[in-house]
Amino acid sequence: MQKILWAVALASCSSICHAQSSVTLYGRLDAGLEYVSGLQNANGSSSSRFRVESGNWGASYWGMQGSEELAPGFKAIFHLEEYFSVVNGQLNTANTLFDNWAAVGLASDDYGTVLLGRQSWIANGIWDFDPLGQSNWSSASLVRGRNWPQLNNVVSYQSPKFGGFDVYGQYALSNATNFNGNGTTNQGRADGLQVTYTNSLFQVRGIYDEIRDAANGQLDNPFTASREYTAALNVFLAPFKLMAGYEASRTSGMRNTAVGSPTTTDFEWGGVTWNINPVTTLTAAAYHINANNGGGNATLYTIGGTYNLSKRTLLDFQIATVQNSRTANFGLDPNSEGPGGVQSDGSYNENPLPGHAQSGAYIGIQHLF
């Protein structure tokens, strides 16, 4: 009888312990066929490319999230997430195991959540207001990736919802002897604040953030080290969702002011998603940027859509074109500044020739687990 009682007690303890802790493994696999024209080649003219690509509709990743209940309504949590390519199995960032998230913290139902570690930066909050969900050819493209970086040394706070409002803040230390950064670490100081209001008809969000140049602690490039001000709106009119936003990037004027080196950008977008039926969506959007000091302007026009084969598997497609002014060379992807073509280090920049258009189309499959 005593052995039976011990067995029951152990089984009960195991059940309780299991109920108080959980770990979830999740991920997304995205791959497709892509065609792009308007790529710069070695002889200074344009060419096209057809390839198998991973992550056009959404980045491929896998991750783990877990929690342990410490008291009713209070728990310890962690979040690990890694980007990779389905095409070749390689990690997005060499020698980095979790390049998107590697964070641990505490969560309270009443007081909110605090996390410490590597995190997706607060400017990525634009994702909720981008008609194409920050796919490769969408809101990140014309700001050259400024709104989707991941940063190290981050402390973040997410408030509970109150009266339709919630607040989110992040602070990233440079971990250098100079508070803002001095070239001894790979990151400058960064901070940001986001406020969101949501009801059944619409959602609005405002974001302020700044990222400092790791080399000198300055705000000297609108695409990499700047202050950013964002206002965005969703309107829910089933079966339609209207989305629009404005994003201003400002430096402190420390940049080389040679023509073609902008110190400010103004970026606007708008679009609509139509839920045709429970398994089919169609999206149309336009994105426009103006860069000062000869940086030019560009507009990205796109349509895309999805068809769900199941709750976890979908087919997707997108057609897009970027039209550049005479001095601009923005591409479909969020390429870094500079001329397109093969670079001095052997890498390839997909920017088109200045004043030239770049167009593309793809069709793919995505699976969630």
Query: What residues does each domain of the chain span?
Result: 23-368
> What is the model's pLDDT at position 292?
94
Instruction: Single out the residue of 143, 131, 139 nearest to residue 211, CA to CA.
Output: 143
Give the CB-side neighbour count of residue 316, counting CA atoms within 13 A.
24
Locate the DSSP E strands across 109-226.
Answer: 112-120, 150-158, 165-172, 190-198, 202-211
Q: How far apart (Å, rounded) are the C-alpha atoms in residues 139 and 285?
A: 10
C-beta of residue 217 within 8 angstroms of C-beta of residue 233 = no
> What is the model's pLDDT at position 14?
43
CA distances for 130 relative to 16, 134, 312, 323, 362, angstroms: 42, 6, 22, 19, 19
Cα–Cα–Cα angle for 271, 276, 278, rounded to 5 degrees: 120
Q: How far apart (Å, rounded) are the C-alpha atoms in residues 331 and 143?
A: 10
pLDDT digits (tens, 9 = 90+) for 191-250: 999 999 999 999 999 999 999 999 999 999 999 999 999 999 999 999 999 999 999 999
Q: How far apart (Å, rounded) are the C-alpha atoms in residues 13 and 179?
A: 49
C-beta of residue 190 within 8 angstroms of C-beta of residue 179 = no
Q: Which of 90-99, 179-188, 189-198 has the highest mean pLDDT?
A: 189-198
> What is the model's pLDDT at position 7?
43
> What is the model's pLDDT at position 9?
42
Cα–Cα–Cα angle for 138, 141, 144, rounded to 5 degrees: 155
Instruction: Single out the residue of 60, 70, 64 nearest to residue 21, CA to CA.
Output: 70
> What is the model's pLDDT at position 6?
42
**Element housing 223 (H / E):** none
pLDDT digits (tens, 9 = 90+) for 256-285: 655 578 999 999 999 999 999 999 999 999
pLDDT digits (tens, 9 = 90+) for 96-155: 889 999 999 999 999 999 999 999 999 999 999 999 999 999 999 999 999 989 999 999
CATH 2.40.160.10 fits 23-368, yes or no: yes
**Residue 46, strand partner residues:** 40
Output the six-digit token pair for 334.
Answer: 């969020």
Residue 346 confidence (pLDDT) above 60: yes
> What is the model's pLDDT at position 8?
37
Residue 67 confidence (pLDDT) above 90: yes
Output the six-digit token pair for 328.
Answer: 């601009």
**Residue 266, strand partner residues:** 248, 290
Q: Which residues contact 354 (CB under 8 A, 6 or more apart)?
A: 296, 324, 326, 327, 328, 329
Q: How far apart (Å, rounded) are the C-alpha atoms in residues 91 and 95?
A: 8
Q: Which residue has the tokens 């607040």?
A: 167
pTM: 0.91
Instruction: Single out the residue of 193, 178, 249 nearest to residue 219, CA to CA.
Output: 249
3-state SS of the chain: helix, strand, coil percent to 5?
A: 5, 55, 40
